[in-house]
Structure 1
Amino acid sequence: MPPTTITVDYLIIGAGATGMAFADVLVTESNHTMAIVDRNQAPGGHWTMSYPFVRLHGPSRVYGVHSRAMPSDSVGANLASGHEILDYYDRVMRETLLASGRVTYLPMHNVDDVEPGGPATVRAHSLVSGASTQIAVRKRVVDASYMNITVPAMRRLNYDVEDGVPIVPVNQLVNLGGPAERFTVIGAGKTGLDACLWLLHHGVDPDRITWITSRDAWMNNRDQEAPLSRFRELTKLHACNSVDDVINALEQMDLIIRRDPRVRPSAFRCATVSSAELAQLRKIEHVVRLGRVRRIDSAGVRLDEGSIQSPPGTVYIDCSADGLTQKPPKPVFADNTITLQTLVPCLLAPSAAIAGKLECLDLDDDSRNRLAPPVVNPSTSRDLLSFFGTRMERLHRWSGSPALFEWLLGSRLGSALSDLQEMTDQGNRAAVSLLASHLEDLLKRDGVSA
């Protein structure tokens, strides 16, 4: 059967958080047509495969798309559940994108390799029927899959497991069928935090939980998230003379917290907890810090720096997927392609929406790229300086573009930059620029790991 042929202005590869945020702006801010091709059976990307009890770690008002609020936007500290997010993206697809009459959506489809260069003709094929669709693209191919957030259900284990050892991905934690003697949680990121909190919430004695963490990580304090005019307090960081000084000051401001006051974390991966959650996590005293897991067998766990024994009846919970990828940055706008990337550390949806708005403005690609240099997501504790410094730098950069700044002020996603309104004052703009430069200078000067 010959392939079906369609012609659109834009082809968007991926219907996850980045693809949906970009497509929403393109639909609401232009008259362009687009095709959205995605490997999953529903929009939402990694949310379609996340564990049943997953929630956002931050407020829903800085997640999703520009044109549509989430139901939990105004519910204070309540965080959107995975079910709410999937329903939200389904509604955005049906009621905003498809309802525009300018969007073709191809779920359960894969895209063949896209050749760089001129206007593209791309073939997509169904992962169910095998049928092909030929897509002629007049303007750009938008890669919304480059950052590729990964959850445990999307990957194979990266360590060996002896046959018969009871190990489950975090998705299966709700389907164990009965209690276990002990639980060993593998992974210290957002998923590991959630697994530990879920076990404690369901009455598991913390003494029955072992938590394997390859390295302790700083966490954002959700109780202090997005306060007004926070940059005024952050300007105190001008007095810091080293990376360590900055991290100590951030902790004193209660912006970052650690699980164990006796252990100085070496990592930072954007996970966020409240003080109440932190109190629960601190009840788990059996924390193993011997590097990464290499093998699990009937006797226990072998790690980089030693081994631990596990009693019979131990169930292992794998939470080790590295959700935030660290892809090498590339220009977002290049020839006939757009590669969606993180413009503000850890905030993929607002970053993609900003890229969408820049595409709709009357600018050349050099100007767009000057406004949208991508950043690498944080990994080490040193990256805390970039995490806060980049936010300050983007406040200054984007407030210097009147069209973008006005749009951000009116966008629900603009609240990701909590001090945006303050940037109408030239003195405040100068202050955030100086702070960003100071933090960058400290990182360059201080080569000692924090």
Structure 2
Amino acid sequence: MPTNVLTVDYLVIGAGAMGMAFADVLVGESTSTIAVVDRNDAPGGHWTVSYPFVKLHGPSNFYGVVSRPMPSDEGTRSLASRDEILHYYDRVMRETLLASGRVTYLPKHHVDVVEPGRRARARSLVTGETTEIVVRKRVVDASYMNITVPAMRPAGFDVDDAATVVPINQLAELDRAPERFTVIGAGKTGIDACLWLLERGIDPDRLTWIVPRDAWLINRELEWQSDGFQPLMKLLVCRSADDVISVLEEKGVVIRRDPDVEPAAFRCATVDTEELVQLRRIKNVVRLGRVRAVGASIVTLDEGTIPTTPETVHVDCTADGLTQKPLKPVFEDGAITLQPLLPCLLAPSAAIAARLECMDGDDEWRNGLCPPVVNPDSSRDLLSFYSLRLERMARWARSPELFEWLVTSRFVTGTGLERMAEPDAQATVSFFASRMEDLLKADAAVSAAG
């Protein structure tokens, strides 16, 4: 096949949320040339194959790119839709990145790194033609986090030929009224499937919800208030991890779907009070672990079975949207691996990494400012979720150049970051983070002792 040669300063692998946020800052803060290579036909990553009724968890000003606000930036109830997000990324690509004259975009291409940090080969998934990409500075892996939605892979359990199992994407394509629905999965996708069915008028008695683990949910109406970090200081009087979680619930910061069930998980999903009321209408909730097989008459789970029918539509919502990869340094010789610097906030993390790349300093200094973090999984991770947010604000405030850029960014509206210029605020936040870490260590020691 014919081979083209392209020489650029940076190769960005992936045009999803992280790749677009990184490239946007690089275009705005430097004169570098960039190649953006992506397997999809349009920018937007997993949004290009997500279900049509999906929306962001929270306000749009924590998503997208630095240079362009979303139309729904204002307010906690203006959650960007799938179509809005895809239109937004299309405009960012055309009107910001390509319009700069310094970006080459290769959609529907698979890329292999031939020489780490220096040279790669991109192959068109349409024509088969290849492009040799010579990289003068760094290869940026914006696909490392590997966000996965149900439409991107087959069901993670056995399915009998007589059973009906569909990814959530196909709910909007139904052409008949099934006998029943069974939603499999308790994360944001499962919540969205349940809410969509209830909004379309399904009787809750015709709906079964398989919940492997109950999870704490962030109260969207309180999460992004503009009073910054001060309310969390009330947690300093807590004497255990359980106390912290109890106070967070008491203050309405986090909520549980079932008042009688103690959640064991936390995956950053958010709801508002109206959505919570709807979810609580579902009474047939199955807590028998993960699904192992769906048959014509029985669903087999880790801890038992439940009856089903061939006429029941089982909605697969089990893909792990926040797959946790092993952490590695963000900045290395000839390479950047984009990872969360703030729990669950991927776009701001990528933008901050790009801004650091444009600043004077070595990689040891950059990595010291932005060690990657693990996305939360268990209820105990609520402590690190909030403490890491504050600790990172204080850490970044100690770099005047980064701090000046951050306080003007649309990503930090309402976080209280501007207060971190005060030494007293930095000291308070550092103490808070240390206190939460101590409580987590004590909790782990008690658990290990049995």
Q: Shared fold by TM > 0.5?
A: yes
Q: Call closer, same or farther: CA 1:36–1:311 in 2, change over 3 Å.
A: same
Pair 1:442-2:439 in alignment:
yes
Distance in 1, matches of 2:131 and 2:165, equals: 40
Residue 322 of structure 1 corresponds to which residue in structure 2? 320
d(CA) in 1 for partners of 2:249, 2:296? 41
Residue of structure 1 in register with 2:63 after alignment: 63
Q: Residues 229 and 422 of structure 1 are in contact (CA less than 8 Å); yes or no, is this contact kept in structure 2?
A: no
Sort the Cα spacing of 1:76 and 1:231 in 2 relative to 1 into closer, same or farther, 3 A.
closer
Code of the aligned partner of 2:133: I
Offset at residue 74 of structure 1 (A): 2.4
Report deviation, 1:148.
1.1
Q: How does 1:160-309 map to 2 (within 5 A)?
A: 160-309=158-307
Q: Does 2:123 correspond to 1:108?
A: no
Q: Kindly state the Cα deviation for residue 414 of structure 1 after the two structures are TM-superposed.
A: 2.1
Counterpart-to-counterpart distance in 2, 1:259 and 1:441: 29
SS across alignment from 1:376: coil
Contact kept? 1:15, 1:44, Cα under 8 Å: yes
How far 1:297 sits from its partner (Å)?
0.6
Q: 1:420 aligns with which of 417, 421, 426?
A: 417
Normalising by structure 1, we get a TM-score of 0.98
1:40 aligned partner? 40
Query: RMSD value over aligned CA atoms?
Result: 1.2
Determine the C-alpha separation between the residues in 2 that align with 1:422 and 1:204. Answer: 48
Q: Contact 1:37 / 1:107 at 8 angstroms: preserved in 2?
A: yes
Q: Which amino acid aligns with 1:241?
A: R
User: Given that residues 181 and 312 in structure 1 are in contact (C-alpha distance below 8 angstroms), is that contact kept between their aligned partners in structure 2?
Assistant: no
Residue in 2 that maps onto 1:135: 133
Aligned match of 1:370: 368
CA distance in 2, matches of 1:336, 1:69: 31
- Give 1:340's match in structure 2, choosing from 338, 341, 352: 338
| Aligned residue type for 2:424 | G
Aligned-pair distance for 1:113?
Answer: 3.4
CA contact (8 A) 2:228 2:417 kept: no
| 1:405 equivalent in alignment to 2:403 | yes
Distance of 1:301 and 1:405 partners within structure 2: 53
1:98 alignment counterpart: 98
Please say if residues 113 and 119 of structure 2, whose CA atoms lie closer than 8 Å, have aligned partners that are also in contact: no
Distance 1:449 1:425 in 2: 38
Residue in 2 that maps onto 1:147: 145
CA positional deviation for 1:164: 2.3
Aligned pairs, number: 447
> CA offsets per residue over residues 24-64 of structure 1, 9 Å max, x none?
00000000001000000000000000000000010001100
Match of 1:431 in 2: 428
**Partner secondary structure for residue 134 of structure 2:** strand
Matches of 1:157 and 1:210, distance apart in 2 = 18
Q: Distance in 1 between matches of 2:7 and 2:92?
A: 23
Is the Cα contact below 8 Å between 1:216 and 1:267 reproduced in 2?
yes
Give the letter aligned to residue 278 of structure 1.
L
Rate the CA distance shift 1:282–1:406 in 2: closer, same or farther, 3 A: same
User: Within 2, Cα distance between the matches of 1:115 and 1:68?
Assistant: 34
Aligned mates of 1:337, 1:110 — CA distance in 2: 18
Deviations 1:254-292 (A, max 9, x none): 110000010000000000000000000000000000000
Measured after TM superposition, the shift of residue 77 of structure 1 is 1.5
Q: Gaps spanning 5+ residues in structure 1: where?
A: none
Counterpart contact for 1:166–1:314, Cα < 8 Å: yes
Letter in 1 for 2:328: K
**One-letter amino acid matched to 1:438:** R
- Matched ranges for 1:6-21 at <5 A: 6-21=6-21
TM-score (norm 2): 0.98
1:23 aligns with 2:23: yes
Q: Is 1:382 the counterpart of 2:376 in the alignment?
A: no
Distance 1:237 1:168, change over 3 A: same
Is residue 161–residue 297 contact of structure 1 (8 Å, CA) maintained in 2? yes
